[in-house]
Structure 1
């Protein structure tokens, strides 16, 4: 108590300094040239009399119901915050409106014991020196609301296109709710979970107002959530730069554990890994190979096609190019970092990596290698799973007995579904996490073998970069260096330890060269350049992918079906704007698959951006890149699935026709003059198990 009295006597109320500390943030290309400046203070101070009384009370209801009665501090909340700071348990505000105003206007956002003690003392003094209205006015005028808006007047314009004096109570409740998490609760960019939390917070504010008798219960019941208007991009950030800057900001905030307000207070100089030429090459490739071929005025589905891509230097982890969409003013969500679409068959290499890493065996005890033979019949029930699963192959094609190499080339779902069970789905998902996929809370079920989880091009680029870097973990980084207020900031390392062994990673790379040489990825085949990659087409054609790499450059391209406008289908089904929809028919194609536009974009960009050709340095004796095994000799198309996943019958063979996702010719290269495979040296092992009746064709995830 004596120490606190001394502290109270010696700590004065300082001059307000928040305005002086707000600076621009500067973003630079990798060569040091300036890309953009952001963070210019967007604030217009308004008198509290210009804010409707009901709107004022929304902030009190949201943050500090006892504001009009307390002495400016919450001793329990402050003690809790001090304890969490000292024990390293992270942030927890527990602050009154007065304390938050003091932090915004007199102090800073530092999470230190010294700052918290000063905040406590100054808050007590400010509460005695200023009226509650003055404190509330200062609070709502200094707080950060997201979208570059400081203060309620800028926020009212940013979210509702009106002055603060014209806000309704419902709109004020949303702005008050935003202060808890501006980026997460911004309706334009929020995930489904973020939108749910924003609505919950909005309801919480209004319910508190009813409880405090500031709002009539009947009026409260009649209120509907006031969806804010679409954001307007900051000047100079309308196109791809906006996506790049947002990705860099998110990375710094994550690595430095910053809030929006802390970052937007400015003073950051961030140099990006983005290569100006490669960025232009990627934009040009998307424009020439996709956008120029779409005509939404003629075909409505063409307007539903969204593209995203990320290119990474596997040796350093640097994100050298990023494509987020048609432009920030046209499509606010970045397609490069969104993870709400299925990666489909681009997940199959992860299953194979888990098999190689664990030296896994089939159900009958044979080691899984690139020449292991599986039953590739469509809808063949997997064996050894507690959960029944019989996935269809693309277009219902049955392949009979087929090697793992050929199954990867043709993207045979039946084979990799069984392989996932053979390895163990828990180990498959664990390997996915080690390679860089976010697998938290994913159910451990056989359906995950179809790539049914969500993933972003950024995420898939990291996984494939890890394979390219011989199994060493690569975490894509868009930020090269950063300083704050002139002081350098330590950034995490992009290259980590071994996620999987070099032998396993190189074996997967070798197999993936077969997808390009003799499979669904032949659109990117080049006679001089070694390429490994995988196509992917999700159920109902809602996403299509090509993720591939050379020894120097890894790029993941994704196309996503997203309804451009709300509409009603011919059968009366309502489709809302932003809903996942099929891309079938876009550009006149019956199906937009990974071998079409995604592969063409990849090839047009990569062969221009990567420089001189190079070969993979692989430590493996498996896969197409070494000496690919052929299909089992003397077999014919199977008519029914096998109960044994690995024992091949002697009278079956793969079909003569590949799946319908055939690869178009590459726009910039010519195929090799020699065939990519070699004759067999030994026949496949004999079969001793008959095949039961085939349950019939069907299609789900494709190549």
Structure 2
């Protein structure tokens, strides 16, 4: 104590007054401060820490008298005593509360008999109304057996996998619980730390509840079970009721599901394999994840040898057994099986649920599927509905989507999931054809090209990088037309010209940005849709166009509720802007021409404002049509996979040449009823800020203005609806039947003139382009086109007028669409 006082005094004197004295002496002033009066010093000594501090600062040596530190030490002891007293009180109170809570749980927790287990609950999937069920998951396959008939190593394999201390613990593993609690607190996870007895209590007495109160009750219940049942009985009940994947509950059902044998006949290796996958049987099924299944198998065999359940020789001979092929359960039977699989895959992919959660969680899953519209979609697309003319062997895939939030309204993926697991919406691919063209058009708009730019739409045409000339469907030529007309009539030569400027990589990247998933080929034919993609992938991309450049995630699950109606999951519906709204609106404006006077004009009869695009694969191996209002999109695709799965040419049927126009027909049938009673919506206005001829003036025919010229090609319209006899724009005729009466062919000379077509009026030319020829189907002699007409604007930049005089009319016969 003396040395402490001495040090303190020296520090106060030398550190404070010493420096002050040196500075003061130089100025000839007083070198030391006044010493306070003794009474003041006494008051300072007794006034506590504040006064002592003041004296210390002033250099008073008496401020740190020998009695000061002892008093401070006694004060510190008092503080520590208070602190420890408070802590001890809290610990004691917590202990009392804990004992009280434990006593309460012990008294209030009943142990029901095993035959009244609250077995794993069934998860049910509902339509969008939340009340009408689509189906359920995990059809329960259970067969209770006497464990006395099982080989001893079956139970020992389960113990090795799940709880090595099972035969010595009292139903709970304190270390495991503490370890799990620490992980839960520090990492925010939910670990069980469960023994076999706790799992038995959790899964079959209480359900899979992970709250701390539930875990506490589970531990109490495990202790009570241990008191009332012997270990072998607990293990037997556990093995008879545990979920083991493949819809199998219990070891007997699992033995049948994996090895097609009874549990009493399981080998050591087979028992080890089943036991190893208990924590995640659906995910670790050898048919799903063979690597993890092998790791778990090796672990169980190693522990069984270490714990003396099998000999070293038996362990050395153990090999991963071969399982039988997985069998689809009856819950997936019929067309709804595809919906259930999509729901399951979407939720597992979201990482919010595991396969086992969905099988045993007792959830209420509400989908986005509208029951009435789903029934309508089935009737429209299925051979068992209204689609009776579709030849056997052809496949149909279709989907309808809410473009604002990406919710799937309805779909047709196949007839029966059990018969064919390949989903025609999400799995099967088809060559998308000209439905890729709108993404090229959007790419051009983004690069500053005006849709009034004129291109040569004649056929055939040579292009760099192509080994053969490019032709339009049916060899039709359209003269010089703008991008509005080229889109409506799906003119290949114009879009190939456009692609020469854009590049395949840029077109593919625009499609990907829009949401088209899958492998998009990047080559000379990218713009013509030579890629095999899914119905869902293409619908996703077009949803972005319809939604003014905002991309949404297509989804089939709206939300998931637990058994207390608490929401556990909600679908992502927030859109992401990926394109300028005006750019996509301009593309949609061009696509409206497809409905108004192009390849999808059958849909005009619905009487709603719509945009669309048709597509035909090379050699007509697939045909498709996508169309939409500002709120609702639908896509139909038909393809011919052939006997060996390779794409084959679609045969002509029921007047549809190679199936062309048929997807547009299905689209019309569906949307006419789906939009019944829905008010018509207009697309947002779009303004074309691009430059004719592109930014450098070299695209198409450049910035030059073209006068009307007579050109071959186009189709003569045998009816009287609109744009009759429009040759230059290559429009389809709208004759009395669903097929066009006359197709104006290049160089037609009347040698093969039909007798069914009637003479059309002057054709509609392209903007700044050539007037069409009036295509009259003669009686074998061919007719000369109408006289030259005057120029006049029509919607979409189309010029109206007759073709130049002297051009030969087309031959009669059924017209084909330009895809």
| TM-score, length basis structure 2 | 0.58
Q: Identify the match of residue 471 of structure 1 among 534, 542, 549.
A: 549
The alpha carbon displacement at 1:326 in A equals: 0.7
CA separation in 2, counterparts of 1:217 and 1:448? 57
1:319 aligns with 2:398: no
Q: Identify the match of residue 507 of structure 1 among 586, 589, 593.
A: 586
CA separation in 2, counterparts of 1:70 and 1:542? 68
Equivalent in the alignment of 1:329: 418
Q: Equivalent residue of 1:292, what SS? A: coil
Equivalent in the alignment of 2:336: 241
1:150 aligns with 2:241: no
User: In the TM superposition, what whole-angstrom CA distance separates every residue of 1:602-652 from its partner, at most 9, and x where no partner exists?
Assistant: 2222223221583532321459xxxxx9x99xxxxxxxxxxx994659999
Equivalent in the alignment of 2:325: 227
Q: Equivalent residue of 1:487, what SS? A: coil
Q: Does 464-473 or 602-611 show the bigger shift?
A: 464-473
Q: Equivalent residue of 2:634, what SS? A: strand
Question: In 1, are the aligned partners of 2:408 and 2:555 still within 8 Å (CA)?
Answer: yes
Q: Equivalent residue of 1:263, what SS? A: helix
Q: Identify the match of residue 584 of structure 1 among 638, 645, 649.
A: 649
CA separation in 2, counterparts of 1:341 and 1:133? 57
The alpha carbon displacement at 1:537 in A equals: 5.0
CA separation in 2, counterparts of 1:220 and 1:653? 84
Question: In 1, are the aligned partners of 2:276 and 2:297 still within 8 Å (CA)?
Answer: no
List gaps (5 residues or longer) in structure 1. 188-194, 297-301, 362-366, 383-388, 565-574, 624-628, 633-643, 684-701
Question: In 2, are the aligned partners of 1:405 and 1:511 still within 8 Å (CA)?
Answer: yes
CA separation in 1, counterparts of 2:119 and 2:253? 19
Question: In 2, are the aligned partners of 1:255 and 1:492 still within 8 Å (CA)?
Answer: no
Equivalent in the alignment of 1:199: 290
1:360 aligns with 2:447: yes
CA separation in 2, counterparts of 1:520 and 1:464? 17
Where do 1:100-179 residues align within 5 Å? Answer: 100-101=199-200, 103-105=202-204, 108-110=207-209, 137-146=236-245, 148-156=247-255, 163-165=262-264
Q: Equivalent residue of 2:627, what SS? A: strand
Equivalent in the alignment of 2:669: 604
Equivalent in the alignment of 2:373: 278
CA separation in 1, counterparts of 2:210 and 2:474? 59
Q: Identify the match of residue 685 of structure 2 among 619, 637, 647.
A: 619
Q: Does 77-86 or 600-609 show the bigger shift?
A: 77-86
The alpha carbon displacement at 1:403 in A equals: 5.0
Q: Equivalent residue of 1:20, what SS? A: coil
Q: Equivalent residue of 2:398, what SS? A: strand
Q: Equivalent residue of 1:616, what SS? A: coil
The alpha carbon displacement at 1:548 in A equals: 1.9
Where do 1:43-62 residues align within 5 Å? Answer: 43-51=142-150
CA separation in 1, counterparts of 2:243 and 2:496? 52
Question: In 1, are the aligned partners of 2:382 and 2:415 still within 8 Å (CA)?
Answer: no
Q: Equivalent residue of 2:503, what SS? A: helix
Where do 1:687-698 residues align within 5 Å? Answer: none
The alpha carbon displacement at 1:261 in A equals: 3.1
Where do 1:630-649 residues align within 5 Å? Answer: 646=699
The alpha carbon displacement at 1:315 in A equals: 4.9
Question: In 1, are the aligned partners of 2:611 and 2:628 still within 8 Å (CA)?
Answer: yes
1:381 aligns with 2:481: no
Equivalent in the alignment of 2:779: none
Question: In 2, are the aligned partners of 1:27 and 1:35 still within 8 Å (CA)?
Answer: yes
Equivalent in the alignment of 2:756: none
Q: 1:371 to 1:27 in 2, by over 3 A?
A: same
Q: Equivalent residue of 1:46, what SS? A: coil
User: In the TM superposition, what whole-angstrom CA distance separates every residue of 1:379-434 from its partner, at most 9, and x where no partner exists?
Assistant: 7439xxxxxx99988889898987544554246674575566388468526523xx
The alpha carbon displacement at 1:325 in A equals: 1.0
Where do 1:282-297 residues align within 5 Å? Answer: 282-287=377-382, 292-293=388-389
Q: 1:483 to 1:559 in 2, by over 3 A?
A: same
Equivalent in the alignment of 2:133: 35
Q: Does 547-556 or 456-465 show the bigger shift?
A: 456-465
Q: Does 538-547 or 498-507 show the bigger shift?
A: 538-547
Relative CO higher for 1 or 2, CA cutoff 8 Å, sep ≥ 6?
1
The alpha carbon displacement at 1:506 in A equals: 1.6
Q: 1:181 to 1:341 in 2, by over 3 A?
A: farther
Where do 1:667-682 residues align within 5 Å? Answer: 679-681=766-768
Question: In 2, are the aligned partners of 1:513 and 1:532 still within 8 Å (CA)?
Answer: yes
Q: Does 323-332 or 443-452 show the bigger shift?
A: 443-452
Equivalent in the alignment of 2:503: 421
User: In the TM superposition, what whole-angstrom CA distance separates every residue of 1:453-501 from its partner, at most 9, and x where no partner exists?
Assistant: 7754344334333332333444445455654324242633635354433
List gaps (5 residues or longer) in structure 2. 1-90, 716-730, 742-759, 771-817
CA separation in 2, counterparts of 1:591 and 1:171? 57
Question: In 2, are the aligned partners of 1:467 and 1:509 still within 8 Å (CA)?
Answer: yes
Q: 1:295 to 1:20 in 2, by over 3 A?
A: same
CA separation in 2, counterparts of 1:379 and 1:468? 32
CA separation in 2, counterparts of 1:676 and 1:510? 22
Q: 1:177 to 1:547 in 2, by over 3 A?
A: farther
CA separation in 1, counterparts of 2:521 and 2:256? 46
- Structure showing greater radius of gyration is 2
CA separation in 1, counterparts of 2:468 and 2:166? 64
Q: 1:317 to 1:125 in 2, by over 3 A?
A: same
CA separation in 2, counterparts of 1:94 and 1:102? 13
Question: In 1, are the aligned partners of 2:119 and 2:204 still within 8 Å (CA)?
Answer: no
Q: Does 203-212 or 393-402 show the bigger shift?
A: 393-402
CA separation in 2, counterparts of 1:21 and 1:218? 38
Equivalent in the alignment of 1:484: 562
RMSD: 5.8
The alpha carbon displacement at 1:265 in A equals: 3.3
CA separation in 1, counterparts of 2:651 and 2:267? 43
1:496 aligns with 2:562: no
Q: 1:79 to 1:593 in 2, by over 3 A?
A: farther
User: In the TM superposition, what whole-angstrom CA distance separates every residue of 1:323-352 from its partner, at most 9, and x where no partner exists?
Assistant: 231123333444333366665543443444
Aligned residues: 614
Equivalent in the alignment of 1:309: 398
Equivalent in the alignment of 1:554: 633
Q: 1:114 to 1:526 in 2, by over 3 A?
A: same
Equivalent in the alignment of 2:357: 262
Q: 1:331 to 1:75 in 2, by over 3 A?
A: farther
